[in-house]
Chains A and B, each alone.
Chain A
Amino acid sequence: MTSSSNRSINTTAVAGLSLWVGVLVVLSHWMGNQAHRWLPVSASTAAPLVDNLFSLETAIGTFVFGAVVSVMVWVILFNRAEKYDTSDAVPVEGNTALEVTWTAIPFVLVMAIAFWTIRAEQQLGTLGPMEHIHLRNPVEQAGGYAGDRLPAEQVEVVARQWSWEFRYPDADVSATELHLAVDQPVTFRLVSEDVLHGFYIPAFRLKQDVIPGRAIDLNLTPTREGTYRLRDSQFSGTWFAANQANVVVESADDHAAWLQRSAAAPLQPGLSLAVEEYALRQASSTRAWATVPPAPPPQVNVPGSPDQPHDA
């Protein structure tokens, strides 16, 4: 009698649990798909790698979070003490088998994620070794490029308080707006003239600190035409938030034409919102806390347009 009723309860419990796990799996799968929509447009070869990893982790995370919250909701609904019942529950001190299980499962899970990440990174060499080279030393390009992917274009990036300057040594062009050719590998040499800055283009999913006293090489390949934002991602002082630039990814032909046109353009002051705001600040009589004065805007062939709409 007792055993049969136990068995029937267990069957119901197992069925209910299986059903709920099924619901959670479906929900997690759906959230994993949704995760792609929370990210900006993907515009470099690195972006799909990041997006897929994030999607996978969102799905796993949804399952874990859903399972934990399900237990919490269950006990809050069904394991509440009756009013005025202050007695103790049936004591359970622990269970070694359970402890082993819930140590092993997270261990295997996170190690699998780590393994998958490392393998994915190796497949895609661009997200990668950023060699530090002292300014005075000869440039050493650490390998990692197959012959067909040798970067065709080199761009020097100079970060300052608070402006970005992009130099194209081969074409003898400088700009405060970054122009890149789609599907064309590019190597940036990142240098800073004052403090730490962060070279961050969200649509490319790439970020690298720019460190004064070092030249850091960063490789990437844009994959989608459009206009994106470059944002300073390492706090650099008063106008940190204003230290942004537009990134224009265009067809190879357009890019070549742009370089040619720009080389002929006369030098003029580049964009620097900080310089404009600093002038207003100096003119106004209200007092505020101290700031480092901005560096003068760089002299460039192409200042670019600050109000251009961007895709991400």
Chain B
Amino acid sequence: MTIATFPPDPKPEPGWTRYFGFCTDAKVIGIQYIVTAFFFFLIGGLLAMVIRGELITPASDLVDRAVYNGIYTMHGTIMLFLFIFPVLNGLNNLLIPTMIGAPDMAFPRLNAVAFWLVPIFGAVLMASFFVPGGPAYAGWWSYPPVSIQNPVGHFINGQGLWITAVALSGVSSIMGALNFVTTILRMRAPGMTITRMPVYCWTALAAQCLQLIGLPALTGGAIMLLLDLSFGTSFYRPEGGGDPVLYQHFFWFYSHPAVYVIILPVFGIFSELFPVYSRKPLFGYLYVALASFIIVGLGLIVWVHHMFPSGVAQWMRNLFMVTTMLIAVPTGVKVFAWLGTLWGGKLQLTTPMLFCLGGLFNFVFAGITGVMLATVPVDIHVSNTYFVVGHFHYVIYGAAVMGIFAAIYHWFPKFTGRMPYEGLGKLHCLLTFVGANLNFLPMHPLGLMGMPRRVSSYDPEFAFWNVIASLGAFLLGVSIIPFLLNMISSWIRGPRASHNPWNAIGLEWLLPSPPPEDNFGEDVPTVISRPYGYGSGQPLVEHQDDIERRLQLQEATA
């Protein structure tokens, strides 16, 4: 093979209008996903501000109770189905092909369809704010019979639109998952055996396998819920012989693994970034990679821990307690591996590194409260209280969203060709870390004291911690301002990025910034060593010096 034609002469930049059309380039789709996700992040965040505004005082005094219930339901739904899943699929689109040296995804058109379903079901969900009776109000779990009560009695109602949007989201995610799994399994660069694959790809593969196994259960459960709501069936209606608890099994069979769909790629991000900014190889690469699949296996058999108080036989409670606690083992392997990577390194505290360190801190805290929640008697006391709300916000915001911000700052130069500003980035990181801890830590004492989640008013003894949580939430609201400023201004007029501004090892860093449409095209380099060869002096690919010299030459003449 020859590398004589790589990198190709830079072509004139394609117009920005392609970001608004049906484009099959995974890098365009990736950015479409991420920008769309952040649009909905702002809406979901605004709803969170209303929630915390209502809860800053004990009485239900800011919004009507029905409005509050609609708002917290939509906050959860938007943040999960319209922010976190799309933003992770965006990262998958950007990173998977470039990390494994593929020109694009395996099925580019399917990829574009999967993306365009997001604004469509997003519009369906937003429309529910404007139908008579308002949006769905039964929480993002949407447990029947509350979710099938349909107080307005219209055929078109908020709950029906909600179920339709969630089902469409499932279809979109299944399409995406097929694409990611196929791409990773079939389109790796020559020489990139499965044990030379970057850990991000391992975790993405694991997460997308979970999507393929779990989503059909949720989608089936949701369709039966829609039939109960709109067509008078009684799968879950007790008066017709149905069982409302059955829905909970369908729902959690997917929705617990969904947490791992979210957190596994974030583990991947930590595993990529800690080596770069510690200048050391990932400690125990193979264990970290394989632990992802142990998490997949265990993650599929823990869902009943969400239902300990629902009325479950004691032996099932104990069984699912044990499986849940076992997850601490592969997760611990990863955490210790990251610490091993940091130990004795040469740490560079850049914005992405600070986000990773903050995310790791929050994640370990969430892991400890997670083991508490697995313990049946403790869970019986704190389930459905603010303790759980605090726990999962530490996971989702404290760890996952901070990891996602780390990824965005780290790979921003690669895909935009511009450097983000460090000062604004560090300010963003500080506000996020302080805001998240102020917001979510007080929820734990509240839950221990017995404050149920989803309440629009509460007894006065809970006021103190709620005021602090609300102030933290408002700080989190402010924290997004430096992020948006940074992204917009550096994308427009930030300093030009070289092909490898962080001096990182990986196929994506052997591409120009931004990469050409078909990445390496015909000249995919042959991988000759494991990833993360920091300090070993070993090249990652054949003719690495030639490739880098050409990239530097090209950057010098540009």
CB within 8 Å of B: which residues of A? 38-40, 46, 49-50, 53-54, 57-58, 61, 64-65, 68-69, 71-72, 75-76, 79-81, 85-95, 98-99, 102-103, 106-107, 109-111, 113-114, 117-118, 120-121, 127-130, 132, 194-196, 198, 200, 202-203, 205-209, 211-214, 216, 229, 231-242, 244, 277, 281, 286, 288-292, 310, 312
Chain B's closest residue to A58 (CB) is: B372
B448 contacts A91, C-beta separation under 8 Å = no
Closest 7 CB pairs of A and B: A202-B450, A289-B134, A213-B238, A91-B535, A290-B133, A241-B455, A88-B535
A89 contacts B345, C-beta separation under 8 Å = yes
A196 contacts B449, C-beta separation under 8 Å = no
Interface centre among A90, A111, A211, A291 (most CB of B within 10 A): A291
Set of chain A residues within 8 Å of B311, measured between Cβ atoms: 130, 132, 208-209, 211, 214, 216
For B346, give its contact among A89, A121, A202 (CB under 8 Å): A89
A contact face: mostly helix, strand, loop, or mixed = mixed
Given contacts A71-B343, A207-B381, A241-B456, contact A103 B333 (CB under 8 A): yes
A113 contacts B347, C-beta separation under 8 Å = no
Set of chain B residues within 8 Å of A87, measured between Cβ atoms: 279, 346
Set of chain B residues within 8 Å of A64, measured between Cβ atoms: 364, 368
Selected A-B contacts with CB under 8 Å, 25 pairs: A40-B448, A61-B368, A61-B372, A75-B342, A89-B279, A91-B533, A95-B284, A102-B333, A107-B326, A109-B328, A121-B377, A200-B452, A207-B309, A211-B238, A211-B244, A211-B310, A234-B309, A235-B141, A235-B143, A238-B69, A240-B455, A241-B455, A289-B70, A290-B66, A291-B66
Given contacts A110-B328, A128-B314, contact A233 B65 (CB under 8 A): no
Further pairs besides A54-B372, A71-B343, A207-B381: 10, Cβ < 8 Å: A57-B368, A64-B364, A87-B279, A94-B286, A94-B340, A120-B377, A194-B145, A198-B452, A212-B145, A291-B151
B149 close to chain A: CB less than 8 A:
yes
Contact bitstring B371-389, A, C-beta under 8 A = 1, else 0:
1100111101101110000
Interface centre among B281, B347, B449, B450 (most CB of A within 10 A): B450
B126 close to chain A: CB less than 8 A:
no
B377 contacts A196, C-beta separation under 8 Å = no
Question: What CA separation (Å) do A296 and B137 show in the bound complex?
Answer: 22
B132 close to chain A: CB less than 8 A:
yes
B489 close to chain A: CB less than 8 A:
no
Question: What CA separation (Å) do A68 and B455 show in the bound complex?
Answer: 35
**How near does chain B come to A184, taking the closest CB pair, in angstroms?**
22
Q: How many residues from B make CB contacts under 8 Å with A?
A: 98
A38 contacts B449, C-beta separation under 8 Å = yes
Chain B's closest residue to A216 (CB) is: B311
B284 contacts A94, C-beta separation under 8 Å = yes
**How near does chain A come to B306, taking the closest CB pair, in angstroms?**
12
Set of chain B residues within 8 Å of A200, measured between Cβ atoms: 384, 450, 452
B94 close to chain A: CB less than 8 A:
no
B445 contacts A38, C-beta separation under 8 Å = yes
Contact bitstring B117-155, A, C-beta under 8 A = 1, else 0:
000000000000000111101110101111001011000
For B343, give its contact among A53, A61, A75, A288 (CB under 8 Å): A75
B283 contacts A241, C-beta separation under 8 Å = no
For B329, give its contact among A103, A114, A205 (CB under 8 Å): A103
B449 contacts A92, C-beta separation under 8 Å = no
Given contacts A91-B534, A211-B311, A212-B145, contact A205 B380 (CB under 8 A): yes
A235 contacts B340, C-beta separation under 8 Å = no
For A79, give its contact among B343, B369, B381, B535 (CB under 8 Å): B343
**How near does chain A come to B290, taking the closest CB pair, in angstroms?**
11
Set of chain B residues within 8 Å of A90, measured between Cβ atoms: 280, 344, 535
B458 close to chain A: CB less than 8 A:
yes
For B321, give its contact among A94, A117, A288 (CB under 8 Å): A117
Chain A's closest residue to B287 (CB) is: A99
Set of chain A residues within 8 Å of B9, measured between Cβ atoms: none
B459 close to chain A: CB less than 8 A:
yes
Question: What CA separation (Å) do A69 and B342 show in the bound complex?
Answer: 12
A61 contacts B449, C-beta separation under 8 Å = no
Given contacts A79-B345, A129-B314, contact A89 B535 (CB under 8 A): yes
Set of chain B residues within 8 Å of A127, measured between Cβ atoms: 377, 380
**How near does chain A come to B254, taking the closest CB pair, in angstroms?**
20
Question: What CA separation (Å) do A216 and B238 show in the bound complex?
Answer: 15
Chain A's closest residue to B454 (CB) is: A235
A39 contacts B66, C-beta separation under 8 Å = no
Given contacts A86-B503, A94-B284, contact A106 B329 (CB under 8 A): yes
B475 close to chain A: CB less than 8 A:
no
Question: What CA separation (Å) do A110 and B370 show in the bound complex?
Answer: 12
Set of chain B residues within 8 Å of A195, measured between Cβ atoms: 144-146, 149
B222 close to chain A: CB less than 8 A:
no
A110 contacts B326, C-beta separation under 8 Å = yes
A91 contacts B280, C-beta separation under 8 Å = yes
A106 contacts B133, C-beta separation under 8 Å = no
B335 contacts A196, C-beta separation under 8 Å = no
A312 contacts B450, C-beta separation under 8 Å = yes
B2 close to chain A: CB less than 8 A:
no
Question: What CA separation (Å) do A69 and B127 show in the bound complex?
Answer: 45
Question: What CA separation (Å) do A194 and B83 show in the bound complex?
Answer: 34
**How near does chain B come to A143, taking the closest CB pair, in angstroms?**
13
Chain B's closest residue to A236 (CB) is: B146
A110 contacts B329, C-beta separation under 8 Å = yes
Question: What CA separation (Å) do A276 and B377 show in the bound complex?
Answer: 36
**How near does chain B come to A53, taking the closest CB pair, in angstroms?**
5
B344 contacts A89, C-beta separation under 8 Å = yes
Set of chain B residues within 8 Å of A239, measured between Cβ atoms: 65
Given contacts A106-B329, A208-B311, contact A39 B448 (CB under 8 A): yes
A288 contacts B450, C-beta separation under 8 Å = no
Set of chain B residues within 8 Å of A80, measured between Cβ atoms: 346-349
A107 contacts B335, C-beta separation under 8 Å = no
For B536, give its contact among A69, A91, A120, A310 (CB under 8 Å): A91
A53 contacts B309, C-beta separation under 8 Å = no
Contact bitstring B208-238, A, C-beta under 8 A = 1, else 0:
0000000000000000000000000000001
Set of chain A residues within 8 Å of B423, measured between Cβ atoms: none
For B450, give its contact among A128, A214, A229 (CB under 8 Å): A229
Set of chain A residues within 8 Å of B107, measured between Cβ atoms: none
Set of chain A residues within 8 Å of B245, measured between Cβ atoms: 211
**How near does chain A come to B442, taking the closest CB pair, in angstroms?**
12
Question: What CA separation (Å) do A92 and B280 show in the bound complex?
Answer: 7
Question: What CA separation (Å) do A54 and B336 show in the bound complex?
Answer: 25
B333 contacts A99, C-beta separation under 8 Å = yes
